[in-house]
Amino acid sequence: MKHPPLNLRVSRTFSFVQGMSRRRSIRLTTEGTRFLLFTFGIGLAAINTGNNLFYLLLAMMLSLIVISGLLSEYCLRRLEFHRHVPDLIMANEPTTLTLSVTNRNRHLSSFSLRLLDVVEGQDVDRGLSIHLLPPQSSVLLSYPLLATKRGWIRFQGIRAYTLFPFGLFLKKGLYSTEAHLLVSPPIRPLTLRFVDELVSEGQGQSLPQRGHGTQLYNLRLYQPGDDSRAIHWMTTARTSQLIVRETEAEDQRRITVVLSIVAPEECAPLFERSVTFVASLLWQLTERAYPVRLIIGTEDSGLGSGSAHLLAMLRLLALCERQPPETNGVGHHGAHPPLTHEAERGYTVAVVPWSDQAAPTNMEQADRVLHATQLEELTHAF
Amino acid sequence: MPFDQAFALSSVFLAATAFTGLVLAQSVPLWLALPTAIILTISLLHAGGIHFVRQAMARVTVSPTLWNVLLIGALAILLIDLTVVSRDLLPAGIHFLVMLLAIKLLTLQQRRDYRHLYGISLMAILASAALTTDAWYVPIFLLYMLAAVWTLLLYHLTQETGETPAAVTPASTAAGQPTFPSRITHHFFWLTNGIAVLTVALTLAIFFLIPRIGAGMLQKTSGEALRTTGFSDRVDLGTIGSVKQDPQIVMRVELPDQPAIEKDRLYLRGLAYDQYNGRSWSHSGTRRRSLSLVADGTFLARPAGSRPLGSRSGTIRQDILLETLDTAVLFAVPFAELVSGEFLTVQADAMGGLHLPFPPSSRIRYSVTSQVPQLVENERTASVLAYPDSIRSHYLQVPLESQHVAELAHRVIQQATTPFGQTLAIQQHLLDNYRYSLEGDTATLSHPLEEFLFTRKTGYCEHYATAMVVMLRTVGIPARLVTGFLATEWNEYGGYFTVRQRDAHAWVEVYFPQSGWVTMDPTPSVSAAVTTSRWESLSRLGESVRLQWDRLFVRYSAKDQLAVVHGVREGSDALRERVRRWVSSLSAPISQVFSRLTHVARTFQPGMLELVTGVIVVGLALFLLMLRDRIGLWATTHLPTAHPELAIVQLYTRMLRTVERHGVSKPPAATASEFARLVEQEWKAAGPMVADVTALYHQGRFGRNPLTPGELSRAAEQVGRLQSLPHAAR
């Protein structure tokens, strides 16, 4: 339906006013309420008596109110906020976030600023305050953040408020500083016996891989940064090109961790603990330098090792979502990845917080399946 | 000074200002004012950090019970005051307020106590506003406002700094976070005073703009009426002498249409008297007529149907601010033609005296237009004048025992041949042979006039005027005595006459058939009246301030607001008209030249007009192109930008372009410093400017602190100089 132009204009004006009111708001403080009551009383006295000196006092009170509004507006005007957030943090681990505040006013300082974090539409007080921010200057504030659950945290903006100059009004301003922070599941200590057992079960399913060792793995062209001791001089002499020698890593075992994301509502706590368990297991295995692969639903991290690969897997874990089981069994295929006997997969550990007895899944093909009971036992201390 | 100390000091100062207001309004008795003043002084010294006062106060510990007892005591005093002593709510309430103020000053500990103190101070300044309209309120109000701004600001800031725990202080500061000063710094001092000045300016603006919708029903009168003498129905000879030393101001008179040169003295007529019984003057007729209203608030003082004096006289318009007097007489320069003011009715007696129905209860402002009579030429020389019977019957009366006076009068006029000459002779005789003196009370004498003329030969205006009237009447010339004021104190700052009680005066009006009543004054002028000392000058300045205060603030009304609106509208109309004329006067020759050019162009060739227009447009474009550097430079430093740190980058780029135009290009691999050295070698004259701009560029681009506006201006100035360097300078 086409709106008539007038309606359109009115609705635009309304949305503009609404937007402005969202960005700026003003509230009376207790002192401000008393001050207004006094002003009202003096105004009444002035009208009743016609005494011009009462009008003068009334004008003084009104001018203090106006000055209050003007100066508080100047305190909040032309402030710029820049937020610096890390790519990934862990739940229940304190992290330091930084916020840069710049006063772009040419001449006027900003006073008595209190800053609130606007997260998911809610104002969160981090105890940030700036008493004085001179014109054309910046300040870098840092504050600790403790995320309690995995997933995205959406920082929408910063709400700054001030009581300057007289504490009569609380003026707030909203500044958009959109930022997203990914929170991975927390890392918990696992029993060493369990990890050792898992590792020993996976012995023998190794794949030649570059690393520290004595056996020749590969010969390749020298690249800047390579250790000069690794130059294979015979081949270099023969080919007239600098060739380096790569060795095969010793004791490399591949482990694939598969997480089932199908779980009913009542199993949600166990599912979350399972996610934490998987994250902790992956961390342990990475610490021991095992090539690890994580499969969650249709998401596959691929085989890899090292901290960068661990972070990629933690990102997958941070974003994975529980899927409720469907009564007709359709859709479980997406939630339960196919476990083929490919060579790369290596030793496979399936983490299944919930399984449907009536409709068995391919998880059973894994080398080691951790069911709800075992998971309860392993994660009860989390 | 630490914030806390400044906060305590400003709070006590606020209370002290409000208390001073009450004391100046004379609403606090001595028994209460003295202890409160002592407590205030101790509190100020304590807040000011005087060591021994702090020590002494620290030793004194008083239980809260005592304060409660004091409060109950104050309440009891209020009740007694209300029912027995003052028997009025306002004075009793003010006494209670002052007691509360003193008690609160002694118990100032928590922030709540400070809030209470502010409330009491506000009530006190409000009460003093209710009790006075005097100009001393101006400095008190300004001080109160200054103290209020300081106090409110410090109250908020001390609360802020007190509330902020150490844990939430920013953990790290990249740009070196400036911490809020814990002491009053130079910057803070001027910032707060700047806010106070801004508040004062805004207060004045709001005061003048706020609509006056008050009925003024409860408005206080301006105090007790001044007692005057000489303006009742009967005046004893010698009564004016009692007020001749009184400096109290009776009225202020402005002459908006008169040049300054004529403002040496001004007779302000009150009442005239025609009957003298040897000891006192009185009116023969008591009938008064109401003046007819000719316009809104304007009354015609001349009897309806009578003709104005016209060309024989001059017109004087007076704006008079009359203090509260105990008489209903309106004063004006003789003779009033039109009277305008906020009056319902104005009355006039048979001898031209103006009266209100009753004495006004507060100051009144009114305007009078008067026609000053002048003696026509033929009456100066006429040997005989024919007086109407009505005049003869009223204005030739003399007391029975005036035989000696008559003899004296005839002796004085022996040489004079005309009535006017006789009048002058009598006036001159009195001026020459008698001494002005306020000494000696003649009010109790049985023959005061004879005593003055033959025995004492000293007296003041009443004696001189009475003597002249009686002497004129004894020789057959109609005359009457007039009382009023002789204004001689011109206030050059305010542009008005200040009239005091001591300016009360009596003089003579002599009747001439064609000219009417002519004012004559036989009293010698007192030379001591004119003082030009610096103190007097200051006093006149203060007096002028008081008048402005009264006019602009105390008596400011909705009518004045309307007048301001009309004034602004008329002013804007006049301005618009002036601008229009100026533009038309400027554009007329241009359009003439242009039309002539157009005509010439068309005469020569049909396409010439387009050609000329094209040339002008191209010329303008070239002109702008030539000035583009200057315009760009100005825009870089003057126009507001969202990224001020980029200004130096823009200036540097501009500098590069300028240098490049002179043939020195920046190699891509060269750093800014290397390029500056290159310019130094290649183009010596530009070297220092390029080096300076490069240094500022480094500072602004890579330094921690952004460039100040002064440094940016310096950079712009250097680039400007670079642009103005001639090619030959290379």
Say whether pLDDT at A160 is over 50. Answer: yes
Is there a contact between A137 and B115 if contact means CB atoms under 8 Å apart? no
pLDDT in tens, B256-272: 877 654 567 889 999 99
Reported CATH class of domain A21-184: mainly beta
Taking residues A48-61, report their average pLDDT: 91
Q: What is the pLDDT at residue B145?
A: 95
Instruction: Tell whether B107 and B13 lie within a shared domain.
Output: yes
Tell me what the pLDDT averaged over chain A comes to. 84
CB contact under 8 A, A167 and B156: yes
Secondary structure of residue B662 in the 3-state scheme: coil
**Quick one: pLDDT band at residue B324, thresholds 50, 70, 90?**
confident
Name the more confident of B438 and A352: A352
Average pLDDT score over chain B: 82
Model confidence band, residue B124 (pLDDT cutoffs 50, 70, 90):
very high
Q: Are B412 and B499 contained in the same domain? A: yes
- In the block, tokens 């001020």 appear at B644
Number of domains in chain B: 3
Say which range, A207-221, A257-271, B569-583, B634-648, has the weakest mean pLDDT: B634-648
Pick from A51, A138, A140: CB nearest B130:
A51
Which of B307-316, B526-535, B693-702 has the highest mean predicted lDDT (pLDDT)? B693-702
Residue range B707-723: average pLDDT? 85
Model pLDDT, residue B454: 86
Q: Across residues B118-136, what is the average pLDDT? A: 90
* Within-domain flag for B117: yes
Q: Per-residue confidence at B426, pLDDT binned at 50, 70, 90?
A: very high
Suggest the residue from A131, A143, A161 to mutate for an interface test with chain B (most B CBs closer than 10 A).
Answer: A131
Given a cut of 50, whether residue B593 has pLDDT beyond it is yes
Last residue of a domain, one of B551, B585, B612: B551
Report yes or no: B239 and B505 within 8 Å, Cβ to Cβ: no
| B310 shares a domain with B192 | no
pLDDT of residue B218: 46
pLDDT recorded at residue B168: 36
CA gap B480, B590 in Å, rounded = 70
- Within 114-143 of A, beta carbons closer than 8 Å to B belong to 126-134, 136-143
Do B105 and B253 lie in one domain? The reply is: no
Chain A residue numbers with beta carbons less than 8 Å from the beta carbon of B141 are 53, 56-57, 60
Three-class SS state of B692: helix
Considering the domain boundaries, does residue B635 fall inside one? yes
More confident call, B354 vs B650: B354
Regarding whether B672 and B537 lie in a shared domain, the answer is: no
Answer yes or no: is pLDDT of B374 > 70.
yes
- Distance set, CA B677 to CA B666, B672, B673 (Å): 11, 9, 6
Residues B44 and B192 in one domain: yes
- What would the pLDDT profile of B539-560 be if each residue is shown by its tens digit? 878 877 877 787 788 878 777 7
Q: Mutate which of A33, A52, A57 to disrupt the B interface (most B C-beta within 10 Å)?
A: A52
Which is more confidently placed, B469 or B592? B469
Is the ipTM of this structure higher than 0.85?
no
**Minimal CA separation from A12 to chain B, in Å:** 26
Within this chain, do residues B260 and B314 fall inside the same structural domain, yes or no? yes
Over 90: is that where the pLDDT of B14 sits? Answer: yes
If asked whether residues B408 and B515 sit together in one domain, one would say yes
A161 in B contact zone (CB under 8 Å): no
Choose the closest CB to A140 out of B164, B169, B175.
B175
Q: CB neighbours of B124 closer than 8 A, spacing ≥ 6?
A: B15, B18, B19, B21, B22, B94, B97, B98, B101
* B618 in any annotated domain: no
Is there a single domain that holds both residue B448 and residue B321? Answer: yes
pLDDT, residue B529, reads: 47
| Confidence band, pLDDT 50/70/90 cuts, at residue A22 | low
Rounded to an integer, the average pLDDT of B685-714 is 85
B203: domain range?
3-162+185-209
Judge whether B326 lies within some domain. Answer: yes
Lowest mean pLDDT, pick from A203-217, B64-78, B189-203: A203-217
Segment A20-25 shows an average pLDDT of: 66
Whether the CB of A360 is below 8 Å from some CB of chain B: the reply is no
Domain ranges of chain A: 21-184, 192-206+252-379, 216-247
List the structure tokens of B32: 């209460």
Q: Are residues B64 and B138 in the same domain?
A: yes
Q: What is the mean pLDDT of residues B635-652?
A: 72
Global pTM value: 0.63
Using CA coordinates, name the residue in chain B closest to A111: B180
Q: Using the predicted structure, report yes or no on whether residue B19 has a pLDDT greater than 80.
A: yes
Tell me if B553 and A128 make a contact (CB, 8 A cut-off).
Answer: no
**CATH, residue B410:** 3.10.620.30
In this complex, do A140 and B178 lie within 8 Å of one another by their Cβ atoms? no
- Residues B14 and B108 grouped into a single domain: yes
Least confident of A72-81, B122-131, B638-647: B638-647
Quick one: pLDDT at residue B263? 62
Task: With respect to residue B172, please indicate whether it lies within any of the assigned structural domains.
Answer: no
- Tell me the mean pLDDT in the region A67-82: 91
Q: For residue B580, is it within any domain?
A: no
B249 with B194, same domain: the answer is: no
Please say whether the beta carbons of A183 and A318 come within 8 A: yes
Examine the pLDDT at A206 and tell me if it is beyond 80.
Answer: no
Give the per-residue pLDDT at A1.
41
Cβ within 8 Å, pair B179-A128? no
**Considering the domain boundaries, does residue B42 fall inside one?**
yes
pLDDT band at B630 (very low <50, low <70, confident <90, very high): confident
Position B632 scores a pLDDT of 73
- Please give the pLDDT value at position B166: 36
Mean of pLDDT values over B670-689: 88
Looking at residue A209, its pLDDT comes to: 66
| Site from A37, A40, A47, A55 to mutate, B interface, most B CB atoms within 10 angstroms | A55
Q: What is the pLDDT of residues A281-334, one digit of tens each?
A: 999 999 888 889 999 988 899 888 888 999 999 999 999 999 988 755 444 544
Verify whether the Cβ–Cβ distance B207 to A56 is below 8 Å.
yes
Confidence tier at A340 by pLDDT (50, 70, 90): low
DSSP-assigned states of every residue in B176-194: -PPPPPSB--HHHHHHHHH
| Contact across the interface for A48 and B217, Cβ inside 8 Å | yes
Percentage of chain B lying above the pLDDT 70 cut: 87
Q: What is the pLDDT of residues A91-113, one digit of tens each?
A: 999 999 999 999 998 888 898 89
